[in-house]
Structure 1
Amino acid sequence: MLISQLQVRNLRNLADVNLTPSRRINLLHGENGSGKTSLLEAIHLLGLGRSFRTQQYRQVIQAGTEELLVFAQIDPQGSGEQRALGISRAREGELKVRYAGESLGSAELASLMPLLVINSDTFALLEGSPSIRRQFVDWGGFHSDPGFIRLWRGFHRVLKQRNSLLKCGKIDARVRALWDAELVAFAEPLSELRAAYVEALKPVFDEILGELLKGVSVELRFSRGWDAKRSLAEVLEESFERDLRQGFSSSGPQRADLRFRADGQDAAERLSRGQKKLVVSALKLAQGALFYRQSQRACVYLIDDLPSELDERHCRQFCRFLENSANQCFITCVDPGLLSQVWEPDTPLALFRVDQGTISQSAAPGEQDER
């Protein structure tokens, strides 16, 4: 179990909430606007220090209060040893993160409690900008290799410096050579880690998609952001004059993308909306499954309004994959009727009603004493 106790203070309409979740499946039901998504937002803040709904942190802090707080007892390694994790965000902007009495940085926090979000925005993964798909790949790279974050940070630091020089309109050749060499030193191994992650993800994705969407094959292709037949150093040299005119670097990992092909065509154009939802669902399920295979650790899934995104048959199949995993899931819905019935009797299940910022636990069909 990752989260065994959860407390939320002053987050949107959640003034003072205490929760003892199930170690596996947690259903949060209530009317729209009752605070269900806010609870998922609180868990996201706990795991990453930011919201998945807005970049304006002041909107998250409850009106009339100066600080929000999310506190939990967690067991990140599944060892049975619970430790305290707390995060606070002040209205003036200060962010504090404490775990077992020690302060944590953003990367340490993210590695502590791996989070996967599935909501209405997630289903735009196929059609959205390449930056969304890079974030998807980078989640996997970060959680697959401890050296990934160093390369990612180093690359973006050097890229920012190179772009600043390009905007000046004139660069000394020796200075450019130094920055280009450093850019390549970070960019190429970063791209290798990204490509390796996608290759590891493919068979897991194929297996899950084959169950969710029978008869449809979707091919994943990773594009590293420059001509794969050439070194990045060559490409940077050749494109320098164009980059200088544009004022930014046109090739490199910042241009990487994950592409989807169905029947030889762009999947975003070939597939129906319902099929796209299933492809994205399979991607997210595959990420969690691969993470567990690589680390023997569970993820936390935050799933907002699942029944509205999938029809009943596919919702049942999706839940079956969640049930057969080791992950802890928080799932919101308006009506818990279907979702409270799809689980096996021995699946640890907790049902919570959310009503105008208050949360109460109710009996669920097949609910077990063990949570």
Structure 2
Amino acid sequence: MPIKSVSIEHIRNLTSVAFEPSPRINILYGANGSGKTSLLESLHFLGLTRSFRTHQFRYLVSSQQRESLVFSQIDPTASGQAKALGVSRSLEGDVKIRYSGNDIDLSDLASLIPLQVINTDTFELLEGSPATRRQFIDWGSFHYDPAFIQVWRACRRVLQQRNSLLKCGKIDPALRQVWDSEFIHYAKRMTSLRKAYIDQLKPDFDTILEKLGGDLDVTLKFSPGWDLKRELDELLAEQLPRDLKQGFTGIGPQRADLKVKSDGVSAAERLSRGQKKLVVSALKLAQGALFHRMNQRACVYLIDDLPSELDEQHSRLFCEFLEQTNNQCFITCVDPISLQDCWSADTEVAYFQVEDGRLLHTH
């Protein structure tokens, strides 16, 4: 199991909390405002040094405190030997990540704890901007192919340089050709890696959605950010006057998207709220299933208010998929009875009551 123990200091109303989670299912229950979601945020902070609810760290750190800290013992490869992981962040912006006595960077941290978040914001996969769906694609591509992170970084660097030149208003043709050549090289490599990942994801998504959503007709199509029927260098040349006017590059992998359609129409426009919940849940479960199959490791799922907008039948089916891939799950709810009958008898389920920022292992 990835996370064997957790100690949390100074995250929202969690002044000092420590617990040993189940390797499989952890139900965090309590009244609204008790600190359930803050516990999920703490685990997200452990895996990515930030919250999934806010981009402003000052709202995550406890009142009157200057620093948040989460310390844990983790066993990411289920080797039987847990190692220490600590993540701290201060209001001044200092971030420290220590694993097994060594400093590591954010990409190494993300590899150690592959996090999946399912909450009300997950609807943004359908209703939000393409940037949200690119994050979804890139999470999978990062864990699918070790080469992706270097290609992503190189492409981002080249794009920033090209945009800086565009903002100057005039570009020497020879200089533009140099950066365009670099941009095209990395754009094609990134697109190839992204497309390969989505091609692998589709069968898992189709299988899971069929069981969750019954007769829902939903398709996934990767959109690279430009017309692949034409050469990218030609398109960049045609786009140059507009790019110079706008001061940024208008086509390329930074405009990639995942088109999610139902009966040929945007799923965001066609589906009901409940159906959208099934689709975004299937997307997240498919990512976890593919990750498990390719890496022989499970994900850590942070699921905020699972019973919300899913009826009893779909909640049960959802939980069955979580069990099948041996994920470690942290699930919040108000009433634990709503989830008690969703698990197999041999699944290790731990229940923790959350009250005013305190945690009690109940049964």
Bin of the TM-score, shorter chain as denominator length: over 0.9
Match of 1:28 in 2: 28
Match of 2:42 in 1: 42
Asked if 1:127 is matched to 2:124, the reply is no
Give the Cα–Cα distance (whole angstroms) in 1 for the partners of residues 238 and 230 of structure 2: 11
State which drifts further: 328-337 or 56-65.
56-65
SS at match of 1:117: strand
Match of 2:107 in 1: 107
SS at match of 1:306: coil
Asked if 1:310 is matched to 2:310, the reply is yes
Give the Cα–Cα distance (whole angstroms) in 2 for the partners of residues 352 and 53 of structure 1: 22
Give the Cα–Cα distance (whole angstroms) in 2 for the partners of residues 236 and 17 of structure 1: 54
Asked if 1:152 is matched to 2:159, the reply is no
Give the Cα–Cα distance (whole angstroms) in 1 for the partners of residues 112 and 146 of structure 2: 13
Match of 1:175 in 2: 175
Give the Cα–Cα distance (whole angstroms) in 1 for the partners of residues 260 and 326 of structure 2: 28
Match of 1:366 in 2: none
Q: Can you list the C-alpha shifts for 1:282-306, whole angstroms capped at 9, x where unaligned?
A: 0000000000010001110000011
Shift of 1:248: 1.0
The residue type paired with residue 81 of structure 1 is Q
Give the Cα–Cα distance (whole angstroms) in 2 for the partners of residues 184 and 309 of structure 1: 44
SS at match of 2:97: strand
Conserved? CA contact 1:316–1:342, under 8 Å:
yes
Q: Can you list the C-alpha shifts for 1:151-207, whole angstroms capped at 9, x where unaligned?
A: 111111111111111111111001100110111111110000000000000000000
Provide the aligned length of Structure 1 versus Structure 2: 363
SS at match of 1:79: coil
Match of 1:245 in 2: 245
Conserved? CA contact 1:27–1:340, under 8 Å:
no
Give the Cα–Cα distance (whole angstroms) in 2 for the partners of residues 63 and 127 of structure 1: 33
The residue type paired with residue 219 of structure 2 is E
The residue type paired with residue 281 of structure 2 is S
Give the Cα–Cα distance (whole angstroms) in 1 for the partners of residues 89 and 340 of structure 2: 34
Give the Cα–Cα distance (whole angstroms) in 2 for the partners of residues 69 and 264 of structure 1: 47
Give the Cα–Cα distance (whole angstroms) in 2 for the partners of residues 264 and 188 of structure 1: 27
Q: Can you list the C-alpha shifts for 1:10-49, whole angstroms capped at 9, x where unaligned?
A: 1111011111100000000001111110110010011011
Match of 1:235 in 2: 235
SS at match of 1:169: coil
Match of 1:16 in 2: 16
Q: Can you list the C-alpha shifts for 1:215-242, whole angstroms capped at 9, x where unaligned?
A: 1221100000000111222211121112
Identity, % of aligned positions = 60
Shift of 1:91: 2.2
Asked if 1:73 is matched to 2:54, the reply is no
Conserved? CA contact 1:141–1:197, under 8 Å:
yes
Give the Cα–Cα distance (whole angstroms) in 2 for the partners of residues 246 and 97 of structure 1: 39
The residue type paired with residue 198 of structure 1 is I
Q: Can you list the C-alpha shifts for 1:260-285, whole angstroms capped at 9, x where unaligned?
A: 12112222222111111100000000
SS at match of 1:339: helix
RMSD (CA atoms):
0.9
Asked if 1:162 is matched to 2:162, the reply is yes
Match of 1:52 in 2: 52
Conserved? CA contact 1:120–1:309, under 8 Å:
no
Give the Cα–Cα distance (whole angstroms) in 1 for the partners of residues 95 and 265 of structure 2: 45
SS at match of 2:339: coil
The residue type paired with residue 234 of structure 2 is E
SS at match of 1:121: helix
Conserved? CA contact 1:220–1:260, under 8 Å:
yes
Provide runs of 4+ in structure 1 moved above 4 Å: none
SS at match of 2:307: helix
Asked if 1:256 is matched to 2:279, the reply is no
Give the Cα–Cα distance (whole angstroms) in 1 for the partners of residues 260 and 88 of structure 2: 39
Give the Cα–Cα distance (whole angstroms) in 2 for the partners of residues 201 and 276 of structure 1: 18
Shift of 1:340: 2.0
Asked if 1:319 is matched to 2:327, the reply is no
Shift of 1:124: 2.4
Conserved? CA contact 1:30–1:353, under 8 Å:
yes
SS at match of 2:52: coil
SS at match of 2:182: helix
Report the TM-score when normalising by structure 1. Answer: 0.96
The residue type paired with residue 326 of structure 1 is N
Gap runs ≥5 in structure 1: 364-371
Match of 2:89 in 1: 89
Gap runs ≥5 in structure 2: none
Give the Cα–Cα distance (whole angstroms) in 2 for the partners of residues 50 and 300 of structure 1: 16
Shift of 1:66: 2.2
Report the TM-score when normalising by structure 2. Answer: 0.98
Give the Cα–Cα distance (whole angstroms) in 1 for the partners of residues 66 and 167 of structure 2: 41
The residue type paired with residue 350 of structure 1 is A
The residue type paired with residue 170 of structure 1 is K
The residue type paired with residue 45 of structure 1 is F
Conserved? CA contact 1:138–1:194, under 8 Å:
yes
**CA distance 1:245–1:66, change in 2 (3 Å):** closer
The residue type paired with residue 175 of structure 2 is V
State which drifts further: 267-276 or 166-175.
267-276
SS at match of 1:159: helix
Shift of 1:360: 0.5
Q: Structure 2 matches for 1:342-361, cutoff 5 A? A: 342-361=342-361
